[in-house]
Amino acid sequence: MSIKSLPMMMTWSRVVLIPVFLVCYYAPIEDARFWAGLAFMVAAITDWFDGYLARKLGSDSKLGAFLDPVADKLIVAAALIVVAAEYHDNIYVIISAVLIMMREIGISALREWMAENNAREVVAVSKLGKIKTASQLAALTWLLYGGTLWGVNWGELGFPMLYFAALLTVITWVQYTVAALPEIIRSTES
C-alpha cells in the first residue's frame, strides 16, 4: 500500500463506517451514542480530506471521483434515517431529512446527467454547497450523539444546525438546477 492509495482508502472507510456507527448507535452499551457520533464524525472528516489528498498526491482518478459522492450519500442517508427515526415526533426533523435526501439524490442524478453531456462543471460543488455539507455533517454528528460534553448540549445544537442545513439544501438545489437549465433545455430541443 502506498501513500497514493490513502485517499481511496479514506473514501472506502466511509462506507465501512456505516455499519460501525449503526451498531454503536443501537448497541446496548454505555455511551453507545457517543461512539456512534464519533464514528460518524471520523467519516465526516474523511469526506473533507480524501479529495484534497487525492489532488495533492496526484492520485485522483475517475473511480475515486465517482465513489466519493456515492460514499458521502450512503453515510448521510444512513444517518438521516437514524436521526429521523430517533426524533420522529419532531416534524421539522422529518421534513429536513426528507428534503436533504431528495436533494442529494436529485443533484447526484443531475450531475451524472450533466457529465454525460460534457457539462459537469456547470453543476460543480459551490462554496455554498460546501457550507451545506459542513452544516449537515455537524448536525448529524451532534444529533447522533445527542448528549452533553464539555458543558455543551450537542443534541440541542443539532436541531437548528439541521434546519440550517435543510435551508441551504433547498437553496443549493435551486442554484444547481437553474445553472443546469440551459443544458437541459438545449438537450430537449435536439
**Would strands 152-153 and 148-149 be described as parallel, antiparallel, or unpaired?**
antiparallel
Low-confidence ranges of the chain (pLDDT < 70): 1, 190
For residue 63, the domain's CATH number is: 1.20.120.1760
Question: What is the span of the domain harbouring residue 51?
Answer: 3-189
- CB contact set of 119 (below 8 Å; sequence gap of 6+): 180, 183
Total structural domains in the chain? Answer: 1
pLDDT of residue 1: 62
Q: 465526516: which residue's cell?
A: 44
Which residues face 152 on adjacent strands? 149
Q: What are phi and psi of 118, to 5 degrees?
A: 55, 40
With CA atoms as reference, report the closest residue to 106 among 183, 18, 174.
174
What's the N-to-C CA distance of the chain in angstroms? 48
